[in-house]
Structure 1
């Protein structure tokens, strides 16, 4: 489904990502981990279409991935991307409305159908009892459920999650893990999820990518970018491997700070 060919990303003289190549089949759930600032979110933005490679290419179904976001790629950020002046139901309906009209309005049968569709989706994510509340009346976990419903109403093939649970308490995060896994299976999504938590990355999905630098020059810390240093099937992880990955990430971070 997705083919990444020798992708590099530079900002002026700073190399963020270097020489990344990989293929992802439809229906895979890929978690991305790595040190802060190593380019995970930059890579996600290239999949979304809000950023582009400096070199190399990303193909979707054999064609260059669209350079602008579209309904085939949904995204959920750590910061809740909801409209504070709209109710929970209206926040989900408006995603469908903007798809149909640049003004964001629906009328008649189209409006009724969108509201029914949104209400059904909100029931799936556990917000059926909050349809007419406003975002500031919701907990952090509820707002994240709302953001996921917003992304899913357009029925994307690809769901991009950028540290969506980083601000949540551990108990709520566990509930969100279960929700996302259920939605992934139900809707047969292809998922890419950035996380700062190595254990979370091993727990979710089917595949773990570790982003890290293969080479570090303490005299020129921005001369080299990160690549995929581990590409592992998700499941039972040997403690020794977890320690090895964690140690390599910490070592490179310390080398950059010297």
Structure 2
């Protein structure tokens, strides 16, 4: 597989605080990268860099060999732990909204043939995430798992090449989480996605990923903890797949054992 995303000597600094330092990564197309690490290890900053919400202080990020501009583009979608859905819109309108904004930025409404085409695409996407029978429900009428399926449909409707997942299943109970694991694996294959997922769940990271990336600080100074940033301390390609377990192990759990 070819390199899709490249980070070369990337630093993220806020004033005199260093969050990420000397991060060098090559991420292949269609890979599933699980990102783990303790709180404060720069995982959220890492996702914001790739999403385009911020630029690195130093270093370069390229997508398909071209510089990644600090703006959110349609080639990258994101799903957060907290459901990013619009409570006043139905499931179908929630999913259509992104297409309407892209095609009619002033009115955010489509009409005629364009609307019918967008609706057909939205229904197909909702069917693929298991919400084909819930088109006219509103978020308040839906379970947490259903709302997260809707958030995934919203992210995928624009056909992004990279899907970013920020603790997407952390608020779900174990049974629903197992269903969501199966769903995201299926969508990953069906849409040929490159997925980058931040998680505190070690089993989840190994069960879903083709690669596990651990971010943490290599150096610690108790007198000036802000002067050292996180980088990739482990980068593990996975050959064997591990099935999701019924219980979760977190970074904090490992530290307490």
**TM-score exceeds 0.5:** yes
Q: Assess if the C-alpha contact under 8 Å between 2:200 and 2:251 holds in 1.
A: no
In the comparison of the two structures, how many residue pairs are matched?
244
1:84-233 counterparts in 2 under 5 A?
A: 84-102=87-105, 103-233=107-237
Matches within 5 A, 1:64-75: 64-75=67-78
Q: Give the secondary-structure state (helix, strand or coil) at the position aligned to 1:43.
A: helix
Runs of 5+ unmatched residues, structure 1: 239-244, 252-258
Structure 1 residues 50, 246: closer, same or farther in 2, change over 3 A? closer
How much has 1:109 moved relative to structure 2?
0.4
- The reply on whether 1:3 has 2:6 as its aligned counterpart is yes
Distance 1:116 1:231, change over 3 A: same
How many angstroms does 1:199 deviate by? 1.6
Residues 237 and 156 (structure 1 numbering): CA distance in 2 closer, same or farther, change over 3 Å?
A: closer
SS of residue paired to 1:18: strand
Task: Measure, in 1, the Cα distance between the counterparts of 2:159 and 2:69.
Answer: 17
1:38 aligns with 2:11: no
- RMSD value over aligned CA atoms? 1.8
Contact 1:203 1:235 (8 Å CA) reproduced: no
TM-score (normalised: structure 2): 0.91
Are 2:207 and 2:241, in contact at CA under 8 Å, matched by a contact in 1? Answer: no
- Secondary structure, counterpart of 1:129 in structure 2: coil
Corresponding position of 2:84: 81
Determine which structure has the larger helix proportion and give its number.
Answer: 1
In structure 2, stretches of 5+ residues that fail to align are: 243-249
Q: What secondary structure, in the 3-state scheme, does the structure 1 residue paired with 2:113 have? A: helix
The match for 2:247 is none
Contact 1:78 1:165 in 2 (8 A): yes
Render the CA deviation track for 1:54-100: whole Å, top value 9, x for unaligned. 11011011111122111111111111111110000000011111110
Find runs of 4+ consecutive structure 1 residues off by over 6 angstroms. none
- Give deviations 1:156-194, integer Å, cap 9, x for gaps: 111111111111111111111110110000000111011
